[in-house]
Structure 1
Amino acid sequence: MKLTPQIKHILNNYESDSPVTKRNLARLLMHGKLSGTGKLIILPVDQGVEHGPARSFAVNPAAYDPHYHYELAIDAGLNAYAAPLGALECGAGIYAHQIPTILKLNNANCLNNAKNQGITGSVKEALRLGCVGIGYTIYPASDYFYDQMRNLQEIIEEAKSVGLISVIWSYPRGPSLDKDGETAIDVCAYAAHIAAQMGAHIIKIKPPTAHLHLPEAKKVYEKEKIDISSLTKRTEHIMQSAFAGRRLVIFSGGTHTSEKNLLETYQSLKDGGANGAIIGRNVFQRPRHEALEILNKLVDIFKK
Structure 2
Amino acid sequence: MASQKIQELLGDKAAYYLDHKCTTIDKSSLHLPAADTIDNVWLHSNRNLQTLRSISALLNNGRLANTGYVSILPVDQGIEHSAGASFAPNPIYFDPENIVKLAIEGGCNAVASTYGVLGSVARKYAHKIPFIVKINHNEFISYPNRFDQIMFGTIKDAWNMGATAIGATIYFGSDESSRQIVEIAKAFEYAHELGMATVLWCYLRNSAFKKDGVDYHTAADLTAQANHLGVTLQADIIKQKLPTNNGGYTALNFGKTHKDVYEKLTTDHPIDLARYQVANCYMGRVGLINSGGESKGASDLSEAVMTAVVNKRAGGMGLISGRKAFQKDMKVGVELLNTIQDVYLDNSITIA
TM-score by length of 1: 0.94
The aligned counterpart of 1:297 is 339
1:46 to 1:28, Cα distance in 2 relative to 1, 3 A: same
Stretches of structure 1 lacking an aligned partner (at least 5 in a row):
none
The aligned counterpart of 1:55 is 85
Q: How does 1:109-124 map to 2 (within 5 A)?
A: 109-112=139-142, 113-124=145-156
1:234 aligned residue (268, 273, 276): 273
Q: Deviations over 1:15-37 (max 9, x none)?
A: 11111110010011011111110
Residue 150 of structure 1 and its aligned partner are, at CA, apart by 0.8
Q: Distance in 1 between matches of 2:109 and 2:82?
A: 26
Does 2:236 correspond to 1:201? yes
Larger radius of gyration: 2
Structure 1 residue identity aligned to 2:320: I
The aligned counterpart of 2:325 is 283
Q: Distance in 1 between matches of 2:215 and 2:202?
A: 16
Q: Tell me the number of residue pairs that the alignment of Structure 1 and Structure 2 aligns.
A: 300
Q: Distance in 1 between matches of 2:35 and 2:265?
A: 34
Q: Deviations over 1:148-191 (max 9, x none)?
A: 01101111111111111111011010243127111011111011
Q: How does 1:175-254 map to 2 (within 5 A)?
A: 175-178=207-210, 180-215=215-250, 216-217=256-257, 219-222=259-262, 224-254=263-293
What SS does the aligned partner of 1:139 have? strand
Does 2:107 correspond to 1:72? no
The aligned counterpart of 2:56 is 26
Instruction: Indicate conservation of the 8 Å contact 1:231/1:268, yes or no.
Output: yes
Instruction: Indicate conservation of the 8 Å contact 1:103/1:126, yes or no.
Output: yes
1:111 to 1:220, Cα distance in 2 relative to 1, 3 A: farther
Residue 50 of structure 1 and its aligned partner are, at CA, apart by 0.7
Q: Distance in 2 between matches of 1:180 and 1:228?
A: 18
Instruction: Indicate conservation of the 8 Å contact 1:210/1:230, yes or no.
Output: no
Residue 219 of structure 1 and its aligned partner are, at CA, apart by 3.6
Q: Distance in 1 between matches of 2:218 and 2:81?
A: 20
* Higher RCO (C-alpha 8 Å, min separation 6): 2
Residue 138 of structure 1 and its aligned partner are, at CA, apart by 0.1
Q: Deviations over 1:42-67 (max 9, x none)?
A: 11110001111110010111111100
What SS does the aligned partner of 1:170 have? strand
1:263 aligned residue (268, 288, 305): 305
What SS does the aligned partner of 2:238 have? strand
Q: Distance in 1 between matches of 2:209 and 2:245?
A: 15
Stretches of structure 2 lacking an aligned partner (at least 5 in a row):
1-33, 251-255, 347-352
Structure 2 residue identity aligned to 1:56: S
